[in-house]
């Protein structure tokens, strides 16, 4: 496993203590351990995300999507039918093997739904921002009473 020096990154960030652990788990992809099934992660707008996994050959009954303690786990396992095992392939490029794929979700990210469409499993996510974490204006108190900060006008 490679070691990365993240100290320059932490100079300008606060509260990203879990980042090093997450980056270490991402390093597993270098070894090719988790290459199946292929997937995309897209940001659809400011607070919505979508994970799409290519699960050709899997039916909805063969797939399991679960969230536990901030980890989204997608599992796929097909029931082998007797006629499938008797087939003799000249070339088999479509993988149908069982898989388990895990995604670490950030705090306040919730799964909104999952659907199977044209061989792709789409999982919709939403980042919820609590009221206490939304930006707010702070009034500055003076001897005369509280006043808000006003923009300064430039003198010509």
Distance (Å, whole) CA 63 – CA 98: 10
Q: Which CATH entry fits the domain spanning 36-130: 2.60.120.260, 2.60.40.1120, 2.60.40.790, 3.65.10.10?
A: 2.60.40.790
pLDDT for the residue 106: 87
Task: Tell me which residue has tokens 């993988």.
Answer: 95
For the chain, the average pLDDT equals 79
Each residue of 40-75: pLDDT tens digit?
A: 999 999 889 999 999 988 999 999 999 998 899 999
Listed by start position, the domains of the chain span: 1-34, 36-130
pTM: 0.64
Residue in 91, 92, 89, 96 with CA at minimum distance from that of residue 54: 96
Each residue of 101-147: pLDDT tens digit?
A: 999 898 889 999 999 999 999 999 999 888 888 888 888 888 876 55
């Amino acid at each position: 496993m490679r070691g990365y020096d993240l100290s320059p990154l932490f100079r300008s960030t606060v509260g990203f203590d879990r980042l090093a652990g997450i980056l270490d788990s991402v390093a597993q992809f270098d070894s090719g351990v988790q290459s199946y099934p292929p997937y995309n992660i897209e940001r659809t707008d400011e607070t919505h995300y979508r994970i799409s996994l290519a699960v050709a050959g899997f039916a909805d009954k063969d797939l399991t999507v679960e969230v536990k303690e901030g980890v989204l786990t997608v599992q796929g396992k097909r029931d082998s039918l007797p006629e499938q095992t008797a087939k003799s392939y000249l070339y088999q490029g479509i993988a149908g093997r069982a898989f388990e794929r895990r995604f670490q979700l950030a705090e306040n990210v919730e799964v909104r739904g999952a659907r199977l469409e044209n061989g792709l499993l789409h999982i919709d996510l939403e980042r919820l921002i609590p009221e206490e974490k939304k930006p707010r204006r702070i009034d500055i108190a003076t001897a005369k009473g509280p006043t808000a900060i006003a923009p300064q006008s430039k003198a010509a």
